[in-house]
């Protein structure tokens, strides 16, 4: 039996051999997941922005209590070796050039009230992000552009599954030169900090270990999902994160065949990343239109007419096996 067949609520929109998109209330769906069954929750909830968005976002005053409901249920379903990775962007307080602390209050609630461990904090830098808010950045020019989201990597126990060597990044040009001729550019020596790198510094490991600052531009204006949306003259989900973000954590924190779940799936970037990396996955989203349109990520090789038909079938209540 597939995992989605254990869910008694929600509607199956489409499924692949590895996963399924479910339309429904994530609180109800999370409560139905078996205990100790999920390897990774990777999600980005609606942020408490001052302007209301089409996808729905909670007010700052109630945000932490609202989000904690979902995160508590996720903890119950996590394996002892599992992780929750949650991307939360910042915001300003209403009418003032002063930042909201909602993402930090949420983190404290997760750790202090729900007994999560903060495995590590990450920061997603989006160099393509537009200047905002207009009042403080563009007009008055008294604040810098906000281009970084906090990404909390949380775990149920002190030692979740993880292998950072799987997500090595390309070497810098200077490091490439050193690797070609270590003796020319580097002599092993004890640093002022008493840190002894030794001869291993010249070893080619296939890439450098990443830092916790992840710089991924969210400017995929020509990917297959957006091309399909444009061809169908539809409006896709406005708050997508780049595929590189979920892919990084899926590769680092799971093995092929592990279960990955996104309970605010939107355009289903997480599901598509998990599918590509051969992980099992489930995606929960309450908006039926976004669920239907997210199927376009999995229909990239089909004609526009075939894609249109599939989306219409899902919107009419059918469940497609892709």
Query: CA angle 240-243-245, nearest 5°?
Result: 95
87 a catalytic residue: yes
CA dist list (Å): 82 to 49, 65, 155, 165: 30, 23, 6, 18
One of 26, 44, 247, 269 is an active-site residue; which one? 44
Residues 295, 299, 302, 304: what is their CA dihedral angle, to the nearest 10 degrees?
40
One of 39, 48, 83, 87 is an active-site residue; which one? 87
Q: In what order do the strands lie in the sheet with 11-15?
A: 213-215, 117-125, 148-155, 78-88, 38-43, 259-262, 280-285, 19-23, 11-15, 320-321
Number of H helices, E strands in the chain: 10, 10
Query: CA angle 209-211-216, nearest 5°?
Result: 105
Phi, psi torsion values for 42, nearest 5 degrees: -125, 115
34 a catalytic residue: no
**Distance in angstroms (rounded) separating the CA atoms of residues 302 and 44:** 29
Question: For residue 133, is the peptide bond before it cis, meaning its omega torsion is within 30 degrees of 0?
Answer: yes
3-state secondary structure of 36: coil
Those residues whose C-beta lies under 8 Å from the C-beta of residue 185, and which sit 6 or more positions away, are 174, 177, 178
Residue 10 corresponds to which tokens in the numbers above? 């929600």
Sequence-ordered alpha helix ranges (H) in the chain? 26-31, 63-77, 102-108, 173-180, 182-185, 224-231, 244-253, 269-276, 288-294, 304-315
Q: Which of 84, 49, 69 lies closest to 262 in space, CA to CA?
A: 84
44 a catalytic residue: yes
Residue 241 corresponds to which tokens in the numbers above? 């994160």
One of 26, 45, 146, 155 is an active-site residue; which one? 45
Kindly list the catalytic residues: 44-45, 87
């Amino acid at each position: 039996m597939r995992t989605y067949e254990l869910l008694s609520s929600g509607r199956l929109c489409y499924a692949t051999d590895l996963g399924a998109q479910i339309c429904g209330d994530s609180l109800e769906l999370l409560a139905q997941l078996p205990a100790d069954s999920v390897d990774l929750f990777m999600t980005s909830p609606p942020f408490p922005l001052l302007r209301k968005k089409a996808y729905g976002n909670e007010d700052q005053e109630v945000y932490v209590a609202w989000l904690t409901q979902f995160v508590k249920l996720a903890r119950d379903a996590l394996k002892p070796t599992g992780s929750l990775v949650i991307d939360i962007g910042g915001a300003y307080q209403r009418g003032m050039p002063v930042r909201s602390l909602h993402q930090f209050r949420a983190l404290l609630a997760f750790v202090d009230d729900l007994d999560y461990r903060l495995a590590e904090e990450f920061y997603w830098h989006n160099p393509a992000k537009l200047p905002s808010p207009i009042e403080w950045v563009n007009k008055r020019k008294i604040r810098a552009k906000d281009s970084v989201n906090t990404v909390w990597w949380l775990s149920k126990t002190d030692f979740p599954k993880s292998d950072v060597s799987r997500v090595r990044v390309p070497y810098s040009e200077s490091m490439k030169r050193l690797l070609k001729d270590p003796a020319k550019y580097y002599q092993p020596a004890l640093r002022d900090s008493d840190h002894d790198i030794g001869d291993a510094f010249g070893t080619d490991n296939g890439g450098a270990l990443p830092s916790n600052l992840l710089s991924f531009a969210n400017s995929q204006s020509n990917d297959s999902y957006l091309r399909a949306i444009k061809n169908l003259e539809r409006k896709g989900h406005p708050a997508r994160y780049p595929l590189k973000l979920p892919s990084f954590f899926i590769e680092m924190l799971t093995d092929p065949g592990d279960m990955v779940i996104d309970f605010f799936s939107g355009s289903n970037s997480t599901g598509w990343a998990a599918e590509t990396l051969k992980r099992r996955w489930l995606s929960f989203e309450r908006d039926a239109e976004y669920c239907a349109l997210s199927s376009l990520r999995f229909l990239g090789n089909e004609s526009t007419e075939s894609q249109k038909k599939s989306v219409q079938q899902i919107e009419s209540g059918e469940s497609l096996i892709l």
